Amino acid sequence: MAIAVERRPQVVARRRNRRRAQRGVAHLLTYLGLLVALVFFLGPFFWIVTTSLKGNEDFFTFPPVWIPPDPSLAHYAALFTRSSGARYFTNSLVISSLSMFAALVVSLPTAYAIARWRFGGGLLSTVLLVLRMLPAIALIIPIYIMYKMLGLTNSYLGLVLVYTVLYVPFAVWLLVGFLREFPMEIEEAAMIDGCSRLRALIQVVVPIIAPGMAVVALFAFIATWNEFLFAVVLTGIETKTMMVLVTSFTSGGTDMFYGEASASVVLGVLPAFAVAFMLQRYLVKGLALGGTKG
């Protein structure tokens, strides 16, 4: 009886329509939810960019101006002339680039030793993970005292050294993964032709895993760019990074320096934006291993 009813064509059609309508509503709700999320997660960026482009007169009006009628780069200019923004931006670039290269150069052979010879047998990998979890606050006190004695505070070298080493555990972890996926036969063939291990690594393996190394490098760059605790303690007038510059606007109430402060935030988050798009596929792994936390 029930089966007979179901087979009646109008009923079937009505059901199909209802199901289709339900699916349509579900679809709409999905996109609506994501739209709300996008507004919440990207809204602050939108606001900070428009604020940085406002003219000074736009700050004092009510109702407030949400989108500046005639955007100007005056705050960026002021940031670069009055607050030495250019110098601190360059500092960040130099320190992050140097740390990124140094971390890669040091980590690659270690990762190779772990991947090919099972060096350290599991213990080393565990130790590296524990070091990765180590809170920076535990290192900053002894390193500060040691740097004071050695005269390494307020120098590129000091900060680059710390960042390089802090980044080694992460880089090794990721590189071991890439190297394990890479077929051993190719470098063995090179070695049979009379190549040394090191030369095989540099001339045969590196070109092939270059994309993987780029991933590690970009995460390293962002992590050092984002790092704050070591930067605020170990840098001086000449070596401040963008992160330290931004905090200089917090004293004396932020209402005072809206223009320059927002311009510095825009410059400070720029690399993160770029890298988020380049590394979509690796975001989970990078973030899970702490690849952006410094």
Partner 1 sequence: MRLFALAVKRKRWEPWAFASPSLALIALVIIFPLAYSFWLSLNNFDLSVGAEYEFVGAKNYQEVLFRDPRFMGSVWNTAVIIAPSLVLELVLGLGLALLLSRVARGRPIITALLAIPAMVSPVMAAMAWRMMFGVKYGAINNLGLQLGLIDVYFDWFASTALALMSVVLVEVWHNTPFMMLVLLAGIQSIPQELYDAAKADGARPWQSFWSITLPLLKFTMVVGVMIRLIDLTKLFGLIFVLTYGGPGSSTETVAFTTYLAGFKDFRMSYAAALSYVIVGGVLVLTLLFMWIQRLREARAA
> Taking a C-beta distance cutoff of 8 angstroms, is the pair 217, 224 a contact?
no
CB 264, min distance to partner 1, A: 8
Q: Is 63 in the site for partner 1 (CB under 8 A)?
A: yes
Choosing from 130, 184, 208, 214, the residue that interacts with partner 1 (CB under 8 A) is 130
Q: Which stretch binds partner 1 (CB under 8 A): 70-78, 107-115, 182-190, 203-211?
A: 107-115
Q: Is 112 in the site for partner 1 (CB under 8 A)?
A: yes
Nearest residue (CB) to partner 1, 30 versus 90: 30
Q: Using alpha carbons only, how large is the chain's radius of gyration in Å?
A: 27
Of residues 70-99, those binding partner 1 (CB under 8 A): none
Structure tokens at 17: 């329509």
Give the type of residue at 228. F
Residues in CB range of 154: below 8 A, 6 or more apart = 234, 235, 236, 237, 238, 239
CB 9, min distance to partner 1, A: 23
Q: Is 176 in the site for partner 1 (CB under 8 A)?
A: no
Q: Is 195 in the site for partner 1 (CB under 8 A)?
A: no
Q: Is 10 in the site for partner 1 (CB under 8 A)?
A: no
CB 80, min distance to partner 1, A: 18
CA distance 165 to 170: 10
Nearest residue (CB) to partner 1, 80 versus 265: 265
Of residues 29-58, those binding partner 1 (CB under 8 A): 30-31, 33-34, 37-38, 40-42, 44-45, 47-48, 51
CB crowding 53-66: b at 16 or more within 10 Å, else e: bbeeebeeeeeebe
CA distance 133 to 222: 18
Tell me the site size for partner 1, rule CB under 8 A.
94
CB 33, min distance to partner 1, A: 5
Q: Is 233 in the site for partner 1 (CB under 8 A)?
A: yes
Give residue 76's Cα distance to chain centre: 23
Q: Is 197 in the site for partner 1 (CB under 8 A)?
A: yes
Of residues 248-277, those binding partner 1 (CB under 8 A): 249-250, 254-255, 258, 261-262, 265, 268-269, 272-273, 275-277
> Taking a C-beta distance cutoff of 8 angstroms, is the pair 95, 159 a contact?
yes
Choosing from 79, 98, 114, 152, the residue that interacts with partner 1 (CB under 8 A) is 114
